[in-house]
Amino acid sequence: MEQRTFILGAGVTGLAAGYASGWPMYEAAAVPGGICSSYYVRPGTTQRLAVAPDDGEAYRFEVGGGHWVFGGDPVVLRFIRQMTPVKTYHRHSAVYFAKDARIIPFPLQYHLAHLDDTTATQALHEITTLAHNAEPPTAMDAWLAARFGPTLTTQFFGPFHERYTAGLWTEIAPQDPYKSPVDVQLVQQGRTGKTTAAGYNTRYLYPEAGLDALARQIAQHSTVHYGKRAVHIDPIEKIVSFEDGTEQRYETLISTLPLNKMIAMAGLKTGVPDPYTSVLVLNIGAVRGAACPDHHWLYVPDSASGFFRVGCYSNVESSFLPRSARAPASRVSLYIERAFPGGQRPSEDEVQAYAVDVVRELQAWDFIAEAEVVDPTWIEVAYTWARPGSTWRKQALATLDAHDIVMVGRYARWIFQGIADSIRDGFIVGAAFKRREKNG
């Protein structure tokens, strides 16, 4: 019998939908988890291992850089704990100004005491008297200036977002304001001393055995067909064609693939898609430098190589290091993120040149000494954005739904959310449509 419903993609959303419904998943990669999965590389080698070697002598990295489980419904968090043991961490992040090797706790606006007195006084004045007085601006650059004032925008928020959005910040709408909170009382408190932790990810979870353990455990309760990359969808005949030459009919298709890619594969017309940014993730395993910070990640507004974030896996959990290097931590496992305008992928030669530049820059900062592993990954759709006043997302979702293609998850719905919320969405769709199918 032809499968009436199936799922495209076995990332965390697809896995949750498959777990809740029993429907099969079709996954392009050879392992589950999508960009939220771990892999291992031995020092001095380039081969990726799907599981840790028995002797433990390998760096652990993640495909899409550091993905930590923050927020989430208590039921989802309970499910994650049932799947695999997890640990709880309290965020330790900062802003790093490379030009003078200065580290300021994050969020910057709540730690003005770490700035020079003139800058801190001016920033406090602007936030308390200039911000929030006008109508909300329609573009992100103006929104940031109105929210934080020109001083902090010039020093940090502007150059950081220029890198983070690959230059799109002057033409995209502001979004996810909870990422950049402004509580005037906390700003004032941070002007004179220590303030409390703030933001959306102050506390987070991570599986003890890595994200790959969580993904594999969920996949064991499901049916996943690997190596099945969808390349075309006929929305009239309801047929999905795969790269290996096979086809699969459906009545209802659940997709976790990026919204713009689904519209293109289905040949549907919805106007000009909203922009997105791609990210080149550079995973590095290296001898730890004398000035390597103990933070979980750093936001960097002025790197010479163009990256916007340096994350340190092994500052979160020492198991990201080869076993022999964990006590004391003589090595460091890092991820470096650089954004590009959507789809503007650099050549292999450009990637290699960039990797050399990054290693040299981190060595100049004394974050690392000798690099033992340098491993790049291209994330085609990493961050999704919207133009001011755009209705493309709503139109695209409605158009696909009219052809019995239901989009679920972060990239499918063109929104920002974390792992826990993506799992929740998968559960909701899996349970709702399974019940509908059972009832005929």
pLDDT, mean of residues 329-354: 96
Instruction: Tell me which amino acid residue 33 is.
Output: G
**At residue 125, does pLDDT exceed 80?**
yes
Enter the DSSP assignment of 319. G
Band (pLDDT 50/70/90 cuts) for residue 438 is: low
Structure tokens belonging to residue 384: 């999704």
Strand positions, DSSP E, 136-289: 203-207, 224-225, 230-234, 239-242, 247-249, 252-255, 276-288
* Model confidence pLDDT, tens digit, residues 260-314: 999 999 999 998 999 999 999 999 999 999 999 999 999 999 999 999 999 999 9
Can you give the pLDDT at residue 1? 41
**At residue 2, does pLDDT exceed 60?**
no
Can you give the pLDDT at residue 180? 75
Residue 7 and residue 24: Cα distance in Å, rounded? Answer: 6
What percentage of the chain has pLDDT greater than the value 90?
83
pLDDT, mean of residues 100-122: 94
Residue 124 and residue 316: Cα distance in Å, rounded? Answer: 32
The domain segmentation of the chain, as residue ranges, is 108-192
Q: Can you tell me whether residue 255 is helix, strand or coil?
A: strand
Residue 436 and residue 434: Cα distance in Å, rounded? Answer: 5
pLDDT, mean of residues 200-215: 89
Enter the DSSP assignment of 131. T
pLDDT, mean of residues 341-357: 97
Enter the DSSP assignment of 339. E
pTM of this structure: 0.93
* Model confidence pLDDT, tens digit, residues 393-425: 999 999 999 999 999 999 999 999 999 999 999
Q: Where are the alpha helices (DSSP H) in 285-347?
A: 313-316
- The half-sphere exposure of 72 on its side-chain side, counting CA atoms within 13 A, is 26
Structure tokens belonging to residue 76: 């989802």
* Model confidence pLDDT, tens digit, residues 9-23: 999 999 999 999 999
